[in-house]
Each structure stands twice: as C-alpha cells, then as structure tokens.
Amino acid sequence: MVEEKLSVLIFSRNDVKDALALIRDMYGIADEIVLVDSSDRKLHLGLLASKKRLGLAKLRIFYTVPLGYPDPLRMYALKKCRNRWVLLLDTDEELSDYGKLNIKERISKTRASAFAIRRYENYTGRPVGGFFTWQVRLFRKDRVGFRGIVHEQPAVNGDTERLPKDFYIGHLASLKGRSSTEYSKMEIFDRMSYGVARERLMDYFNKVMIPEHGNIRDTLLGRFLDRWQRVYRDLVGRNDGDELSRFDYLVFFALVDTGYRIRDGHILGILDIYAGRSKYIDRIISAGGSGSGEIFEISKIINIVGITKYLGLGSERTIERLNRKYAGAAGGTDLLIGLLKKRYERGRRWLD
C-alpha cells in the first residue's frame, strides 16, 4: 500500500488565535497545511510572523480579499493544495483523535472519491447523543466541485463513503456563530425557482441522511422526492425557471426545517416553523426593493452556475485583481453582494 499524502485546508478571517490552534493540532498528521487568510493587514502580518517564529514549515499562507465567508473561494484554495487528498476544516472545528489516527490509512486504502463525516453541531467535547449532520470534508481535490453557495455540500464525481461514528468533526459550541451576521446578509439571494428548489432540497437531505454510498438522488427516496416535486410544479402550472409562490416557499422551508428538527430530536419545535419561516419568506421576497427582479435573476444564476464560476473566483488572476483593487477595503459580504450586482449589470467586463 502506497501511503497517500494529505493537505489540510483552512480559511481564516480575523480569528488568528483559533487558526493557529487548529494548525498546531493538525500539524502532526498533515503533509501540508494551506491557510487561506482574509484577515485585516495587521493580523495577516502577525500570521506570517507566527509561521516563522513557530517553525511551521508545512504551513503555506495565501491572502485573499475578504468576501464575508469562505465558500466562494474554495476552488481557488483547492488549486493551492499540492496533494490530491484534502481535509477541509473551519477554525471553530476539531477532528476527533480517532480521525487523526486513522485518516492516512483511510485515504490510502479507499477507492472512493470522498468521505462523509459526522459533524456534531453543538460540540463541547462529548459527541455521544449529540445532533450531527453529514459533511463531505475529506475528498480527492480532482473529484469535487464547489459553487460557492452558503453551506453547500460539494458535488462529488465518484463514490462517497460514510466514515464510522468515532471518526467525526466537532463544531465547537464556544466558537459558533461568529459568521452568522455575514451569512444572514446573503439571505437576499435565497430567492428560488422551482428547478433550484428541487436541487436545494436534495442538498439539505444529504446533510441529514446521506446514504451509505453515493448521493440521496440515487436512492428510492431521492427519486420519489424529485418526481413528486416535478409533478407538483406541473399541477400548479409553473416552469422550472419561475419563482416559487409564497406558499411554495413555506412548503420548501417546512420540509427542510422538519428534517432538521426530527434529527435534532426537537419534534415539538416543528410547531414553530410556520411563524418563523413566514417572516423570513416576507423578508427575502421584499429584499432589494425596486430591484427585486434583479435580485431574483441573480439568485437564479448563482444557484445554477454558482458564485465561484459567475465571478471567476476559481482563477488566480481574478483573485490577484481583487486583492489589488480592494486592498485596504473593509470587504465582507457587502463587497461580495456589490460584485454580484456589478457582474449582472456589466457582464464579463465587471472587473474593468
């Protein structure tokens, strides 16, 4: 057996202390650690100094303009990884001891393209009995694609295997919620057509109940859900490109929220779905004011082709141009939203 080499990929944004803690925790098992950092200049320079001071030869640091959250930059980051197997971790996560001990053997023996790992969502050091979702975080970089959508699962070309319960990621409860404000700003693009809603529902179900091998789309349940949604769309006389009605938005989010509450064991919480989601739906439908139509059209585009492809963020040249043009800018999700609007209004010359 030839032992595969592993790249650990981490994104950071003004959370230098936690990034360094994660790097040191993973240093012994990684063949390289790639850190894509969007911190303020002083903190970024501090990271570079820490790399030298601590003698972290395996660590490679790259700067990107902050876009509010890391998802749109994942394809760019994968190109920076030298090894074909990549483990993606956030700075508010940690890998179990069993995972650290067995990860090299797993990737060296498998014929799969990716692994689904339990992520315990309120981790305090004890995962037993806790709520978890399935996350595809360990994969061959040449077999996955990210579109840059908030909290997406990657598209995998090949088989996806589930790892055993002792091989898990803990989402540290003490560090959760740091990006919630930035994520919430992207709600304006949570507008969906019937075709997009069908794909999104599959993605959500994959997180809750990914099958032993492959994707829920290939299961009997997945095929039933897909067929049911198509029949319903035809019955209400709509097309794939039409926006959901207010009622259908409510049905979509009710299905998603019910799945999460059942997995979380909070069955009674299902009764609260209507009130909470009703207000949310009113917000996203009214977002953009007079530009609401433009927001829906952008939403359709990025839900189909992805933010990464639409803005060309997988290209090193694009990242370099953004770094120069917005050097010293506050950046964040406000910048990303502005870039999406520019791209829609100006076409391919949006960066000129």
Q: What is the mean pLDDT of residues 84-109?
A: 96
**Same domain assignment for residues 13 and 145:** yes
**Same domain assignment for residues 20 and 118:** yes
Lowest average pLDDT, out of 127-131, 288-292, 319-323, goes to: 288-292
Domain assignment present for 128: yes
Domain assignment present for 108: yes
Among 227, 259, 286, which residue terminates a domain? 286
Q: What is the model's pTM?
A: 0.88
Q: Report the alpha-carbon distance of residue 330 to residue 315 in Å, rounded.
A: 22
End-to-end alpha carbon distance in the chain: 51
**Same domain assignment for residues 134 and 240:** no
Among 146, 175, 204, which residue terminates a domain? 175
**Same domain assignment for residues 215 and 162:** no
Q: Which residue has the higher pLDDT, 49 or 181?
A: 49
What single string gives the DSSP state of each residue in 74-116?
Answer: HHHHHHH--SSEEEEE-TTEEE-HHHHHHHHHHHHH---SEEE
**Same domain assignment for residues 116 and 263:** no
Q: What is the pLDDT of residues 247-275, one digit of tens each?
A: 999 888 888 877 666 666 665 655 666 67
Which residue in 348, 267, 271, 258 sits closest to 309, CA to CA? 348
Domain assignment present for 184: no
Residue 40, domain CATH: 3.90.550.10
**Same domain assignment for residues 95 and 244:** no
Of all residues in the chain, the percent with pLDDT exceeding 90 is 63
Q: Does residue 46 carry a pLDDT above 80?
A: yes
3-state secondary structure of 320: helix
Q: Which residue has the higher pLDDT, 285 or 238?
A: 238
Q: Which residue has the higher pLDDT, 103 or 250?
A: 103
Q: Report the alpha-carbon distance of residue 22 to residue 95 in Å, rounded.
A: 9
Domain assignment present for 28: yes
Domain assignment present for 320: no
Q: Report the alpha-carbon distance of residue 232 to residue 203 in Å, rounded.
A: 19
**Same domain assignment for residues 226 and 116:** no
What was the pLDDT predicted at 336?
Answer: 96
Q: Give the pair of three-digit tokens for residue 350.
A: 């949006």
Q: What is the pLDDT of residues 155-183, one digit of tens each?
A: 999 999 999 999 999 998 776 656 667 78
Domain assignment present for 47: yes
Among 124, 145, 175, which residue terminates a domain? 175
What was the pLDDT predicted at 283?
Answer: 84
What was the pLDDT predicted at 352?
Answer: 84
Domain assignment present for 333: no
- Strand residues in the chain grouped as ranges (E): 6-12, 32-37, 59-63, 85-89, 93-95, 114-123, 132-140, 144-145, 155-156, 160-162, 168-172
Domain count, the chain: 2
Q: What is the mean pLDDT of residues 194-220?
A: 78
Q: Report the alpha-carbon distance of residue 233 to residue 198 in Å, rounded.
A: 10
Domain assignment present for 291: no
**Same domain assignment for residues 148 and 199:** no
Q: What is the pLDDT of residues 113-145, one digit of tens each?
A: 999 999 998 888 776 667 888 999 999 999 999
Q: What is the mean pLDDT of residues 332-345?
A: 95
pLDDT interval class at 213 (50, 70, 90) = low
Helices 292-304 and 333-346, interaxial angle, to 10°? 100
Structural domain boundaries, residue 247: 192-286
What was the pLDDT predicted at 263?
Answer: 65
**Same domain assignment for residues 38 and 123:** yes
What was the pLDDT predicted at 205?
Answer: 78
**Same domain assignment for residues 148 and 262:** no
**Same domain assignment for residues 129 and 20:** yes
Q: What is the pLDDT of residues 224-233, one digit of tens each?
A: 888 989 999 9
Mean predicted lDDT score pLDDT of the chain = 89
Q: What is the mean pLDDT of residues 44-71?
A: 96
What was the pLDDT predicted at 177?
Answer: 58
**Same domain assignment for residues 49 and 90:** yes
